[in-house]
Structure 1
Amino acid sequence: MGSQRNKLLLNLLGEPLIAWTLRAAAASREIQWIGIISQPEDWPDLKSILEGLALNKPVEMILGGVDSPSIGSQRSTGVTLKRSTGADP
């Protein structure tokens, strides 16, 4: 796409692409929570987008690209942060 930025943060019709996806997930009766797998450098932008959406489902920011088999969790500004090993559902 020619951008140095995460393509999910790029605008589509005036809104970040991830906002469209998050709204669709929040509207689903089948989805209980939303997980966003990303790198920490994207978290400030993602948190800002989430604040503007006021979704009705819990959202977890999941650390992507971690090679460690252990999974850790910590809280940061109201969003749960987890590590993903790629083996988790």
Structure 2
Amino acid sequence: MPLKSIRRTSSLALSQPNAAQIRAARALLDWSQQILAERSGIARRTVAAIETGDDRVTAESIRAVQGALEAEGIVFLGLEGGAPGVKHSRECDPDER
């Protein structure tokens, strides 16, 4: 098995949202990559790298993005097993974001 495959199936990778979940969560909030970067305290290019599944992104950066999205009511499904997904835990007025 190539090293790249091992990295993607590590226990750390399973406990964090994947690239598609991050993109979906951002779409649910109607946020640009720039807004997510600002709310996460990371560079916009790092958000872009996360959303493309770049293996060079640190776990710390993914946790920052995950925390910013969860603070807005995003729930990541399947992090501990099962089908991955994303949902918004509460209804909110888009003007309040």
Q: What TM-score do you get using the length of structure 2 for normalisation?
A: 0.24
Q: More strand per residue: 1 or 2?
A: 1
Q: More helix per residue: 1 or 2?
A: 2
Q: What TM-score do you get using the length of structure 1 for normalisation?
A: 0.26
